[in-house]
Amino acid sequence: MKRLITLLILGLLASCHSHSHDGGDDHGHARDPADERPALSFTHWTDASELFIELPALVRGQESPCAAHVTKLDSFAALAEGRVTVVLRGDSGEERFDSQAPTVPGIFRPVARPTTTGKRRLVVEVRAPGLTADHDLGEVTVFESVAAARAANPEEPEAPGRIPFLKEQQWPIEFGTSLVTERAMRPTLRATGSVVPRSDGEVVITAPVAGRVATSGRAFPRLGERVAANDLLGVLAPRLEAADLASLDLAVTSANLELRFAERERQRLEGLRGEGAVPERRVQDAVHAAEAAQAALATAQRRLDQFRRVQQTAGRGEGTVQLRAPLSGVITEVLVAPGAFVEAGAPLLRVPDLTQLWLEARVPEVDVARLGTPHGASFFVEGIDEAIELPPDALVARGGRIDPRTQTLPVIFAVDNASGRLPVGAFARVHLGTGEERRALAVPESALVDDSGIFVVFVQASGESFERRVVRLGARDRGFVEVLSGVRSGEHVVTRGAWSVKPAASSGSVPAHGHSH
């Protein structure tokens, strides 16, 4: 039994080995080794798709199996469904060879069998849900014989330094390329900064008097709630000077006793005045004392009445101080709970206007001399892929004093945040424009790889072949960097997944699914 299992395993391994390298599996790119025709390959891009196709040289009457690798450029994923058609066009008419579905996602295998010789136009049509693309690969020749094909296409050694990285390796990872083109670039200074409220666009609502925070009959303000100017947010039941009700009662009783004593003294002196026993001045003093005692009693009684009213009706807003929003905005901090006692001046709520914010950039002291008046700016924050562009007229202020703590100079720009996507306090990577725009060859900053202190990019030489290029850099602006040397216009550089290509460059080995022809 063990011997039988061992034989089965060895047989399976042998079968897998033969399938991977000799017969051309669903993923592989191999073809019949007995086919002596030269191998052709093409890489072509449209706005929506990338095509990498391999096939033997075309010979009249012979089948040329094609391996068409189709990548959707919106996601750099393999095309999982659809139809690929190889079209040969010439003076004698048009021949079409279809593959109605991929053998595996991304790989279509139409078989071309031309019937006439001569120059033909090779076009590959891709039709899939949401994708229509025609890849015009230029002129090809249909030969009369294999010998003629070999004579016209002598074998050439592979260019040195090429890095194989197959589509089957690209598709499962986050991968992408970008076209090297000229674009408007401007000299910039790099700085850090943060998104902050305008100086007139944020308010901290504080307690105007000491007292107890109440809700005024509405839900207590909550984090993230939008409020309009003059909205009632809550009320504050003032805390009176007396510590408690007993103290106020005592004050009323004492004032009442004082009044009664003053009234009796006034009456006694008025009687003595009638007898001529006291002067008029003493009588007037007694009258004034009685009036003062009356006023003191009234004040004490009002305090007692107010205290009782506040205790009984604070939740209905009577006898309380209203807390209203001084501007329209969003509550970003709630610093007190309902029912809490607070002192006068204690912060209760923070309400900034989030529709118009400021970007406060901090320029290092060493760069201040090169700053001048900024020609606009761009900045990045986490969670937003594209740069946020600020025109020159968005400049609010350029500071004139170096912060002694950070040794930086503040530069402030206005930022339109009507969409609300920018949170207050967000950290920003800022590029400050220091000169006029000019046209320059540029690549996305994400294409750069720091390789032991040297900046390199990986250029896509063909669909599954890459080159490591050392680049000399210039200005950085709005997520792009000027390339002074190392790449040419029209080439494609890896912008996502470059760190996966780099190990392939170091290994020097061809991946398991090779391209033997």
pLDDT tens-digit series, residues 284-330:
888 888 888 888 888 888 777 766 665 555 444 445 788 888 889 99
Please tell me the distance from the alpha carbon of residue 230 to that of residue 76, in angstroms, as a whole number: 52
Could you tell me the two tokens for 390?
């600020």
Considering the domain architecture, whether residues 223 and 281 belong to the same structural domain is answered as: no
pLDDT tens-digit series, residues 327-345:
899 999 999 988 888 888 8
Residue 314 DSSP one-character state = G
Q: Which helix (H) or strand (E) holds 500?
A: helix 498-507
Considering the domain architecture, whether residues 396 and 289 belong to the same structural domain is answered as: no
82 pLDDT more than 50: yes
Please tell me the distance from the alpha carbon of residue 328 to that of residue 350, in angstroms, as a whole number: 12
Considering the domain architecture, whether residues 208 and 86 belong to the same structural domain is answered as: no
Residue 6, in any domain of the structure: no
Which segments within 129-231 are labelled E, that is strand?
131-142, 162-164, 176-179, 181-185, 188-197, 202-206, 211-214, 226-227
Q: What is the CATH number of the domain that holds 335?
A: 2.40.50.100
Q: Which residues contact 159 (CB under 8 A, 6 or more apart)?
A: 461, 467
Residue 268, in any domain of the structure: yes
Considering the domain architecture, whether residues 348 and 226 belong to the same structural domain is answered as: yes
pLDDT of residue 245: 65
pLDDT tens-digit series, residues 181-231:
999 888 889 999 999 999 889 999 998 888 888 776 677 888 889 999 988
Domain count, the chain: 4
Domain hosting residue 229, numbered range: 202-236+322-352
Q: What is the CATH number of the domain that holds 297?
A: 1.10.287
Considering the domain architecture, whether residues 191 and 72 belong to the same structural domain is answered as: no
Residue 467, in any domain of the structure: yes
Cα-to-chain-centroid distance, residue 347: 32
Over its C-alpha atoms, the chain yields an Rg (Å, rounded) of: 42
User: Mean pLDDT, to the nearest integer, of 126-145?
Assistant: 95
- Map residue 137 onto helix, strand or coil: strand
Considering the domain architecture, whether residues 339 and 359 belong to the same structural domain is answered as: no
Torsion angles phi and psi, residue 67, rounded to 5: -120, 100
Q: Which residues contact 153 (CB under 8 A, 6 or more apart)?
A: 38, 40, 57
Residue 230, in any domain of the structure: yes
User: Mean pLDDT, to the nearest integer, of 467-492?
Assistant: 93
Please tell me the distance from the alpha carbon of residue 277 to that of residue 101, in angstroms, as a whole number: 129
- Long-range CB contacts (< 8 A, 24+ apart) of 381-386? 381/195, 381/422, 381/426, 381/427, 381/428, 381/429, 382/426, 382/427, 384/421, 386/479
pLDDT tens-digit series, residues 427-478:
999 999 888 888 999 999 999 999 888 999 999 999 999 999 999 999 888 8
